[in-house]
Amino acid sequence: METQSILIVDDDSGVVGYISELLKGEYRIKIATSGAKALKIASNDQPPDLILLDIMMPEMSGYEVCEQLKSDSRTRGIPVIFLTGRSSADDERKGLELGAIDYITKPISPPVLLARVKTHLRLKEASEFLQRENELLEEKVKQRTQQLAVLQDTTMIAMGSLAETRDNETGNHIRRTQHYIKALALSLTDNPRFSDVLTPDYIDLLYKSAPLHDIGKVGVPDSILLKPARLDPTEFETMKQHTILGRNAIAAAERIIESQEAGDFLALAKAIAFSHQEWWDGSGYPEGLSGDDIPLSARLMAVADVYDALISRRIYKEPLPHEEAVAIISNERGTHFDPDIVDAFLAVCDEFKAIAHSFSDSATEAQ
């Protein structure tokens, strides 16, 4: 695989030299000391994979450079991370509105820089994979229904597996949760609260998009994701970012794929990835949503995901028997989980147990 390239844009040669030294062992480095030169390098036949862009530069500011990059189809997809001594919310909002994906404040912290670059390059790879797959499907599949089916299945397998390979303790987790959430949704179709939403088409999309719920874990450092113990508060704050990273990766795919049907699928996947850690009582993350403000798809995944986590072995805990997992979910009715969804889970919990056995691995027990 070809070494990825980073374009550093800064008129301060000291900053350029410092960043180059930090990154040159792992990436190919390109340098621009002005906005005009940066635009020329970015639009050539071998554009950089990511741009580190200073805001305060003479002649053309980083904001202007970013705006031109995002208005050009040749450079629109290149991730831009601003380097700045500014830290106000207005400055950050302006940069993000122009299309930047992140901010790194000066003085630059080497661990922060390396982690952010690695994370956003991984997300870019995932987005580009989806784009390549979509282009291939456009060539081969002539009928819209066939195109959608292959696109969704390919996306689910590729993106779900991308997350799964980073966390080999979970084994068949994404497959089990896919079947759990379908069983749960089917059991709620007669409930007046959900009957209008839980149509066969919606449940089919739910089933296909569910494996992407933890795709954001590709951006979590291995030292945290694979830690053989419970996370400390700082590490947990980093882990919580997987919901945002997952949402952003799927949003990138949405911008690429111009299809209403595919858009519906990805919108559902995005809602699950972003909100499946929210709690019914508002004490979850990332937004502290509560009640019906939490998307239904995410509320369903919350039950499926927690059940599987409880019955699965982790490097820091032993698996719980099925009955204990059911009791815990029941006890969190109205706090962690939507009460009606817990009631539906209790009605089909034996089916959950059967699914766990059907897709069991060495890390799962459902006794």
Least confident of 31-40, 47-56, 235-244, 253-262: 253-262
Q: Does pLDDT of 36 surpass 90?
A: yes
The answer for residues whose C-beta is within 8 angstroms of residue 174's C-beta and 6 or more apart is 160, 161, 163, 164, 210, 211, 213, 214
Residue 211 lies in a domain: yes
Q: Give the Cα-Cα-Cα angle 305, 307, 312 (nearest 5 degrees).
A: 95
Q: How far apart are CA 220 and CA 211, in angstroms?
A: 17
Do residues 74 and 167 share a domain? no
CA nearest to 322, candidates 348, 342, 349: 349
Q: What is the predicted pLDDT for the residue at 366?
A: 47
Q: 24 lies in a domain?
A: yes
pLDDT over threshold 50, residue 267: yes
- Whether 85 and 179 share a structural domain: no
Q: Once rounded to an integer, what is the mean pLDDT over residues 2-22?
A: 92
The domain total for the chain is: 2
Tokens (6 digits) for 319: 């698996």
Q: Which bin fits 3, alpha (ψ -120 to 50), beta or left (φ > 0)? A: beta
For residues 204 and 301, membership in a common domain is answered with yes
In a domain, 119, yes or no: no
Tell me which range, 156-165, 245-254, 274-283, is most confidently predicted by mean pLDDT: 274-283
What's the CATH number where 21 sits?
3.40.50.2300
Confidence at residue 263, expressed as pLDDT on a 0 to 100 scale: 66
Domain hosting 335: range is 143-358
Looking at the fold, whether 186 and 292 belong to one and the same domain comes out as: yes
Examine the domain organization and report whether 159 and 283 are in the same domain. Answer: yes
* Dihedral of alpha carbons 58, 59, 64, 65, sign: negative
Same domain, 99 and 186: no
Which of 82, 108, 134 marks a domain boundary?
108
The predicted model gives 1-14 an average pLDDT of 90
Largest CA distance in the chain: 68
Nearest to 215 by CA among 101, 135, 94, 130: 130
- Percent of all residues in the chain with a pLDDT value above 70, rounded to a whole number: 86
Residues 191 and 245 in one domain: yes
What count of Cα atoms within 13 Å lies in the side-chain half-sphere of residue 161? 7
pLDDT single digits (tens) 88-145: 677 778 888 888 999 888 888 999 999 999 999 988 888 878 877 777 766 665 556 5
In terms of domains, do 147 and 287 share one? yes
118 located within any domain: no
Same-domain pairing of 73 and 155: no
Q: What pLDDT sits at residue 363?
A: 46
Q: Are residues 205 and 350 in the same domain?
A: yes
More confident residue, 331 or 137: 331
Q: Is the pLDDT of residue 165 over 90?
A: no
Asked whether 43 and 116 are in contact (CB, 8 A), the reply is: no
Q: What is the pLDDT of residues 290-324, one digit of tens each?
A: 999 999 999 999 999 999 999 988 777 789 999 99
Least trusted range by pLDDT, from 126-130, 272-276, 329-333? 126-130
Is the per-residue pLDDT at 163 higher than 60? no
In which band, very low, low, confident or very high, does the pLDDT at 223 lie, cut at 50, 70 and 90? confident
Question: What per-residue confidence (pLDDT) applies to 184?
Answer: 97
**Per mean pLDDT, which range of 156-165, 222-231, 340-349 is the poorest?**
156-165
pLDDT of residue 168: 47
Is-contact 301 269, C-beta < 8 A? no
* Same domain as 48, residue 159: no
Kindly report the CA angle at 45 between 80 and 10, in degrees rounded to 5? 35
* Core vs surface per residue 124-150: b (16+ CB within 10 A) or e: bbbbebbbebbeebeeeeeeeeebbbe
Give residue-wise pLDDT tens across range 353-364: 999 999 887 544
Given 59, 86, 108, the domain boundary residue is 108
Task: Give the residue-averaged pLDDT of 323-346.
Answer: 97
In a domain, 121, yes or no: no
Query: At which of 57, 84, 108 does a domain end?
Result: 108
Task: Decide: helix, strand or coil at residue 30.
Answer: strand
Do the domain assignments include residue 160? yes
Query: What pLDDT, on the 0 to 100 scale, is given for residue 345?
Result: 97
- CATH classification at residue 252: 1.10.3210.10
**DSSP character at residue 226:** T
Mean pLDDT along residues 261-284: 88
Does 137 fall in a domain? Answer: no
Reduced to 3 states (helix: H, G, I; strand: E, B; else coil), residue 53 is strand
Q: What is the pLDDT of residue 314?
A: 76
Question: Are 246 and 321 members of one domain?
Answer: yes
Flag whether pLDDT at 48 surpasses 80: yes
Query: What's the mean pLDDT when you consider all of the chain?
Result: 86
Adjacent-strand bridge partners of 53: 9, 82
262 in any annotated domain: yes
